[in-house]
Chain A
Amino acid sequence: MDAEWPDRLAQVAVESFGTLGFMFPLDEAEAGAAGSLIEPITVAVSFHGPRTGWVTLTAPSGLLPILAANMTGDDGPISAEVQQDAFKEMLNVICGNLLPQLAGAEAVFDVGSPKIVDGQNGLLAVGPTATARLLLDAGQVDVALFLAEVVKV
């Protein structure tokens, strides 16, 4: 795993959050006050193919309704289910765009369904292969890539 992976993770995540979620990185001056993960929620998606592993996305729970509203265009109250659906779909897009960089454009991967996880289930105890932190206008987001031979999500 080369040293460029944190940048690659960040680049894919920034593009995905910008295009789908209309959330954009803060500049350095604005970023100081934004870096916190209050009531963090994590979603994970597994992939199997030439490389096996999973990708996780962690954000403060307060980011989810903003993301869902931006993606759906709904101004009214948004259910927790829809909020999580939006968060999962964002991870799905990030994962799909990362995989060709892992094993080349010809490689075929099977991608699982994104699932909400917590830090106690063992998934996050393994330690990521690469991580990236985004400071978006709606809050801090952490993206992590885990590579393993056997994945039990």
Chain B
Amino acid sequence: MALNILVVDDSAVMRSMIIRTLQMSGVELGEVHQAANGQEALVVLDQHWLDLALVDINMPVMNGEELIECIRQKPAIADLPIVVISTEGSETRIERLQQHGAKFVHKPFTPETIQQIIQSVTEVTNGR
């Protein structure tokens, strides 16, 4: 099953890097959408059916934590699998995100880490 994915990060370079990592990881990709902050992400989520969101934490306008809280309160997308990809090092904040059902990948990351976490979140095995 090809995954429709939303990448949310205020750095265009990091979005590009995450998408390149996804392409290298062997995960079958469908549509890949991008947003530079939580507010832009909510617009994309209103317009497209997505299988997974990869979300940064520190962003202007609406940060990743606020975005995840919004997503969990919207019945249509409340169950969306979310992976936080961030430099965040606070266990307190990471636990808070995990309580919202989000997985966590720490930057810097490797393609293998991204592949493993996506497979665990979406239960995709790519036929292997």
Collect the chain B residues with CB atoms within 8 Å of residue A92's CB: 11, 58, 87, 107
Confirm or deny: B89 has a beta carbon within 8 angstroms of a beta carbon on chain A: yes
Confirm or deny: A80 has a beta carbon within 8 angstroms of a beta carbon on chain B: no
B11–A89 touching, CB < 8 Å: yes
The 7 A-B pairs with the shortest beta carbon distances in the complex, nearest first, are A96-B87, A19-B108, A100-B89, A86-B13, A20-B108, A89-B11, A85-B13
The one of B16, B58, B90, B108 in contact with A15, judged by C-beta atoms closer than 8 angstroms, is: B108
In the complex, how many angstroms separate the beta carbon of B110 from the nearest chain A beta carbon? 7
A93–B11 touching, CB < 8 Å: no
B90–A95 touching, CB < 8 Å: no
- Interface residues contributed by chain B, number (CB under 8 Å): 22
Collect the chain B residues with CB atoms within 8 Å of residue A74's CB: 16
Q: Which residues of B contact A (CB under 8 A)?
A: 10-14, 16-17, 20, 58, 60, 86-93, 107-110
Q: Which residues of A contact B (CB under 8 A)?
A: 15-16, 19-20, 68, 71-74, 82, 85-86, 88-89, 92-93, 95-97, 99-100, 105-109, 111, 113
Beyond A92-B11, A97-B87, is A113–B108 a contact (Cβ under 8 Å)? no
B13–A82 touching, CB < 8 Å: yes
In the complex, how many angstroms separate the beta carbon of B91 from the nearest chain A beta carbon? 5
User: Apart from A85-B13, A93-B107, A97-B89, what are 20 other A-B pairs with CB-CB below 8 Å?
Assistant: A16-B108, A20-B17, A68-B13, A71-B14, A71-B16, A72-B13, A72-B16, A73-B16, A82-B12, A88-B11, A89-B14, A92-B58, A93-B108, A96-B86, A96-B89, A100-B89, A106-B91, A106-B92, A108-B90, A108-B93
